[in-house]
Structures are given as C-alpha cells and as structure tokens.
Amino acid sequence: MRQFDFSPLYRSTVGFDRLFGMLDQVNQPDAGTSYPPYNIERTGQDAYRISMAVAGFSDQEISIEAHRNVLTVKGERNEADKEEGVELLYRGIASRTFERRFQLADHVEVTGATLKNGLLHIDLKRNVPEELKPRKIEIAPAANSAKQIEAKAA
C-alpha cells in the first residue's frame, strides 16, 4: 500500500488538522476487531441507527459515551453471574469484553439507545444549525434607469 506524507500540507493550511488525521487513520491497518458485529442504517432524511449484536449483555453491562464526534460503546461481562454447578462444554456465544468506536460527522447527535432481543440500537440525528444551511437568495429586478416618456398621439 502506498504511504502519503501530509506534513507539507500541515504547514500551509490552518484548521484542517482533523481532516489530515482522519486521512492518516485510513492508511493504518485495522486491528482486525470484528466483535461485536454491527449495522449502520439510514432511517430518515437526517436520521441514522447503529445496531449492534450484543447477545448475553444486559443494559447494566453496556456503556455508551459520545465525546467530540466519537461514539464509544463498551461492554463488560460480570463473570460472577455464572450459574453454580454448571460446567461449560462449548462456548459458541462470545461474551468477551469489547469496545467499539464510531467516528461521527459534524452536527450528529445521539438521541437514544435501546436494548431489545440481544440487539443494541443507537439512534442518531443530524442537526445542522440554520446559519449553516444553504439559503436561497432572491434576485431583485434591476431598476430601469431609462424612463420612457409617453408621447401624445397627434
């Protein structure tokens, strides 16, 4: 894979540090974490939902935090909840601790989260302030500088 050096751009731009940081992260290989699996869905014009498969976790064992355009979902299982006298012969349902981070776009806010049937649903809404939305500028007709004088018919 080709590596790009963005350091010359850092010297000639102001305020684009976050953009170059995100471009640097694209080149870094992922740690291979695929647990827990998730879907990202568009549920409306400016509404989104992240659905994560967190079978076996209760709502007390999952924490969700949004800070500076990063959404972090953590899950920690209590091993003290094991049933007494039960010997596990095969573990097919993963119950390991996890931490998943999502990079959120500007003006995206978390509106709520629900845990139902082993799926954690996190609802997101994009709220762009009115001053940042595009607005239509009406064009006023030009004032006619040459006035026409009506002549009387003879």
pLDDT in tens, the chain (154 residues): 566 666 666 655 666 666 666 666 665 555 556 788 999 999 888 899 999 999 888 889 999 999 988 899 999 987 665 667 788 788 777 678 899 998 888 888 999 999 999 899 999 998 888 787 788 888 888 766 666 667 676 6
Q: Say yes or no: 2 and 61 in one domain.
A: no
Q: Say yes or no: 23 and 44 in one domain.
A: no
Taking the CA atoms of residue 101, residue 104, residue 108 and residue 113 in that order, the dihedral angle to the nearest 10 degrees is -20
DSSP state string for 106-133: TTEEEEEEEEETTEEEEEEEE---GGGS
Q: Say yes or no: 41 and 77 in one domain.
A: yes
What is the spatial distance between Cα 62 and Cα 49, in angstroms, rounded to a whole number? Answer: 17
Task: Give the up-direction half-sphere exposure of residue 127: CA atoms within 13 A in the CB hemisphere.
Answer: 5
Q: In this predicted structure, what is the pLDDT of residue 52?
A: 94
What is the domain extent for residue 13? 1-30
In CATH, what number is assigned to the domain containing residue 118? 2.60.40.790
Write down the residue that tokens 């006023």 correspond to.
Answer: 140
Q: Does a structural domain hold residue 54?
A: yes
CA 52 to each of CA 45, 55, 82, 134, 138: distance values in angstroms, whole numbers, following the listed order: 22, 9, 24, 34, 47
Total H helices, total E strands in the chain: 2, 7
Give yes or no for a contact between 124 and 48, defined as CB atoms under 8 angstroms apart: yes
What is the spatial distance between Cα 62 and Cα 120, in angstroms, rounded to a whole number? Answer: 9
Q: Say yes or no: 49 and 96 in one domain.
A: yes
Q: Does a structural domain hold residue 13?
A: yes
Q: Which tokens is 134 given?
A: 């595009």
